[in-house]
Amino acid sequence: MRILFTAAEIAARVEALAAEIARMLPAEFVMVGLLKGAAVFVADLARALDGAGACPEIEFMRLASYGSAKESSGVVQLIGDVPANLAGRPVLLIDDIFDTGHSIAYAAAELRRCQVGKLWTCALLDKPQRRQIAFAIDFVGFSVADLFVVGYGIDYAEKYRHLPYIGVVE
**Distance between alpha carbon 41 and the CA centroid of its chain, in Å?**
7
Q: For the chain, first and last CA: distance in Å?
A: 6
CA–CA separation, 93 vs 61, rounded Å?
10
* Active-site annotation holds for 99: yes
CA–CA separation, 63 vs 80, rounded Å?
9
Strand, helix or coil for residue 105: helix
Q: What is the DSSP string of 5-50?
A: E-HHHHHHHHHHHHHHHHHHS-SS-EEEEEETTTHHHHHHHHHHHH
CA–CA separation, 56 vs 58, rounded Å?
6
Which of 44, 99, 138, 155 is catalytic? The answer is 99
Active-site positions?
99
